[in-house]
Amino acid sequence: MQTLCIDIGGTGIKAIVLDAAGQPRGERLRVLTPRPATPEAVLAAMEEPLAGLGEFDRVAVGFPGVVVDGVTRTAPNLDPAWQGFPLAARLTERTGKPVRVANDAGVQGLAVIEGTGVELVLTLGTGMGFALYTSGHYVPNIEMGHHIFRGRRTYEDRVGEPARARVGNKRWRRRVLQVIAALAPVFNYRVLYIGGGNARLLDPAELPENVRVVDNVAGLLGGLKLWA
């Protein structure tokens, strides 16, 4: 059983085929997210992974927005045209294979959580992803990134990639610590995992003891768990 795992991001679209044990079959592919990132443009950009990564039996997609029953509802860092787009159905039409789609942070967490107590995932990339799990069960589509953090600014405004590029890594790291300090007394999580392309810019020594930085490749590996 081979699973084509795709992680659609604001900057890049990553893909890999994994076997049932989670071992990669062949290379990992990354293509740039087209701009404007409309559904049709992103589907066109996905042709390379769909056609070039060899055989697969099913597809798992992490999507950077709200997803309900395979239909995308929002995509703040892609394009407004994703509202109400039947992504799973369109990919099934294209591949002839069953397709599951979920929020990218939710998928990422499936690869790293331990499955006990309350676990939280933040992804720091173009946007800020958030996922909550209780005893291993994912609570979908909590969009903490768009919650007000300070003044009129949201969490994502403060720690998304445009903010990091503007204020520099040092101030951005301080902001991430403020985000953690705001979430900790609200969610009382056992563990918080931080992934996403910018997680590697954090200094693990600065983080509270129940906060762990995880490899961004989890965004792909979690796809297998979507089918578990």
**Residue 88 CB partners (closer than 8 Å, separation 6+):** 61, 69, 70, 71, 99, 100, 101
User: Contact with ligand BGC (CB under 6 A): which of 76, 197, 219, 222?
Assistant: 76
Which residue of this chain has its Cβ atom nearest to ligand BGC in the complex?
A: 127
Residue carrying structure tokens 């997210």:
33
User: Contact with ligand BGC (CB under 6 A): which of 16, 78, 105, 220?
Assistant: 105
Q: Does 39 bind ligand BGC (CB under 6 A)?
A: no
Q: Does 223 bind ligand BGC (CB under 6 A)?
A: no
Q: Does 70 bind ligand BGC (CB under 6 A)?
A: no
Q: Does 72 bind ligand BGC (CB under 6 A)?
A: no
Strands 153-154 and 148-150, bridge-based pairing: antiparallel
Which residues inside 113-142 make contact with ligand BGC, applying CB under 6 A?
Answer: 123, 125, 127-129
- Shortest Å distance, C-beta 46 to ligand BGC: 17
Structure tokens at 169: 């890594």
User: Contact with ligand BGC (CB under 6 A): which of 103, 154, 198, 216?
Assistant: 103
Give the Cα separation of 1 and 112 in Å (integer).
22
SS (H, E, C) 160-208: CHHHHHHHHHHHHHHHHHHHHHHHHHHHCCCEEEEECCCHHHCCHHHCC
Q: Does 108 bind ligand BGC (CB under 6 A)?
A: no
Structure tokens at 124: 């720091």
Q: Does 65 bind ligand BGC (CB under 6 A)?
A: yes
Site of interaction with ligand BGC (CB under 6 A): 64-66, 76-77, 103-105, 123, 125, 127-129, 143, 145-146, 156
